Structure 1
Amino acid sequence: MKILLAACNAKYIHSNLAVYNLRAYAEDYRKNIVLKEYTINQQKDEILRDIYLEKPDVICFSCYIWNISFVKEIAEDLKKILPDSVFWAGGPEVSFDAEDFLKKNPGFFGVMVGEGEETFRELCRFYVDKKGSLEEIPGIAFGFGEKIRHNGWREIMDLSNVPFAYEDMEDFRNKIVYYESSRGCPFSCSYCLSSVDKKLRFRNLDLVKKELQFFIDRKVPQVKFVDRTFNCKHSHAMEIWKYILEHDNGITNFHFEISADLLKEEELSLMEKMRPGLIQLEIGVQSTNPETIKAIRRTMDFKKLSEIVDRIHCFENIHQHLDLIAGLPYENYESFQNSFNQVYALKPEQLQLGFLKVLKGSLMKEMAEEYGIIHKEKEPYEVLSTKWLSYGEILKLKTVESMVEVYYNSGQFQNILNYMESFFEDAFSLYEELGKFYEEKGYHSISHSRMRRYEILLEFLEQRQEISREKAVDAMLLDLYLRENLKSRPSFAPSQKPYEKMVWEYRREKKIPKTAHIEVFQNGDIVLFDYETRNPLTNNAETKTINEEVKEYGYV
Structure 2
Amino acid sequence: MNIILTAVNAKYIHSNLAVYSLRAYAKPYLDEIEIAEYTINQTTDFILMDLYKKQPDILCFSCYIWNIEYVTELIVEIKKLLPEVPIWLGGPEVSYDAAQVLESYPQVTGIMKGEGEETFLEVLDYYHGKSSNLSDIPGLTYREDGQIRENPWRTVMDLSKVPFVYQDIDKFENKIIYYESSRGCPFSCSYCLSSVDKCLRFRNLDLVKKELQFFLDHKIPQVKFVDRTFNCNQKHAMAVWSYIYEHDNGITNFHFEVAADILTEEEIALLHKMRPGLVQLEIGVQSTNPDTITEIHRKMDFQKVAEIVRQINAGKNVHQHLDLIAGLPYEGLDSFQKSFDEVYAVRPEQLQLGFLKVLKGSYMAEHQEEYKMIHKDKPPYEVLSTKWLSYDDVLVLKSVEEMVETFYNSGQFGSTIEHLEQYFSSAFEMYCRMGRFYEEQGYHKRSHSRIGRYEILLEFIKTAVPEESLVFFQELLTFDLYLRENVKNRPAFAGDYTVEKEELFHLYDEVFPREEALAGYAGKHQRKMIHIEKFQYDILSERKEKRETLILLDYQKRNPLNHQAKVIRLPIET
Report the TM range for the smaller structure's normalisation. Answer: over 0.9
CA drift at 1:166: 1.3
Give the alignment of 1:405-484 within 5 angstroms: 405-466=405-466, 468-484=469-485
Cα separation, 1, equivalents of 2:244 and 2:158: 24
Cα displacement string for residues 244-293 of structure 1 (whole angstroms, at most 9, x for unaligned residues): 10111111100000000000011111111100011000000000000000
CA drift at 1:106: 1.2
Give the alignment of 1:202-217 within 5 angstroms: 202-217=202-217
Deviates more, 1:22-31 or 1:511-520: 511-520
Aligned residue number for residue 384 of structure 1: 384
CA drift at 1:445: 1.0
Cα separation, 2, equivalents of 1:501 and 1:517: 15
Aligned residue number for residue 126 of structure 1: 126
**What residue identity is the alignment partner of 2:257?**
E
Aligned residue number for residue 222 of structure 2: 222
Cα separation, 1, equivalents of 2:464 and 2:376: 39
Aligned counterpart in structure 1 of residue 529 of structure 2, from 477, 499, 515: 515
SS at match of 2:556: strand
Cα separation, 2, equivalents of 1:238 and 1:132: 47
Contact 2:478–2:493 (8 Å) recurs in 1: no
Aligned residue number for residue 485 of structure 1: 486
Contact 1:499–1:520 (8 Å) recurs in 2: no
RMSD of equivalent CA atoms = 1.1
Deviates more, 1:68-77 or 1:311-320: 68-77
CA drift at 1:165: 1.4
Give the alignment of 1:318-337 within 5 angstroms: 318-337=318-337
- Percent of paired sites with the same residue: 59
- Residue 146 of structure 2 is aligned to residue 149 of structure 1: no
Aligned residue number for residue 104 of structure 1: 104
- Residue 362 of structure 2 is aligned to residue 362 of structure 1: yes
Cα displacement string for residues 474-531 of structure 1 (whole angstroms, at most 9, x for unaligned residues): 1111110010100110111121266233124423553342221111123221111111
Contact 2:499–2:533 (8 Å) recurs in 1: no
SS at match of 2:555: strand
Contact 1:527–1:545 (8 Å) recurs in 2: yes
**What residue identity is the alignment partner of 2:482?**
Y
Aligned residue number for residue 535 of structure 1: 559
CA 519–118 in structure 1, closer or farther in 2 if over 3 Å, else same: same
SS at match of 1:310: helix
CA drift at 1:120: 0.2
Cα separation, 2, equivalents of 1:118 and 1:446: 48
Aligned residue number for residue 139 of structure 1: 139
Question: For structure 1, which runs of at least 5 residues remain unmatched after alignment?
Answer: none
SS at match of 1:462: helix
Cα separation, 2, equivalents of 1:58 and 1:244: 41
Cα displacement string for residues 445-497 of structure 1 (whole angstroms, at most 9, x for unaligned residues): 11001111110111111113426111101111111001010011011112126
Cα separation, 2, equivalents of 1:156 and 1:404: 40
Aligned residue number for residue 14 of structure 1: 14
Cα separation, 2, equivalents of 1:496 and 1:304: 47
SS at match of 2:19: helix
- Residue 550 of structure 2 is aligned to residue 526 of structure 1: yes
Cα separation, 1, equivalents of 2:463 and 2:143: 65
Aligned residue number for residue 169 of structure 2: 169
Cα separation, 2, equivalents of 1:315 and 1:73: 49
- Residue 53 of structure 2 is aligned to residue 53 of structure 1: yes
SS at match of 2:42: coil
**What residue identity is the alignment partner of 2:479?**
L
SS at match of 1:304: helix
Contact 2:3–2:33 (8 Å) recurs in 1: yes
Contact 1:328–1:356 (8 Å) recurs in 2: yes
SS at match of 2:557: strand
CA 498–534 in structure 1, closer or farther in 2 if over 3 Å, else same: closer
Cα displacement string for residues 355-402 of structure 1 (whole angstroms, at most 9, x for unaligned residues): 011100000001111111111111111100001000000000000000
Cα separation, 2, equivalents of 1:297 and 1:71: 33
Give the alignment of 1:178-257 within 5 angstroms: 178-257=178-257
CA drift at 1:118: 0.3
CA drift at 1:80: 1.5
- Residue 501 of structure 2 is aligned to residue 500 of structure 1: yes
Cα separation, 1, equivalents of 2:487 and 2:58: 54
Aligned residue number for residue 514 of structure 2: none
Contact 2:499–2:532 (8 Å) recurs in 1: no
Deviates more, 1:190-199 or 1:498-507: 498-507
Aligned residue number for residue 26 of structure 2: 26
**What residue identity is the alignment partner of 1:115?**
E
Cα separation, 2, equivalents of 1:496 and 1:366: 62
Cα separation, 1, equivalents of 2:297 and 2:304: 18
SS at match of 1:80: helix
**What residue identity is the alignment partner of 1:210?**
K
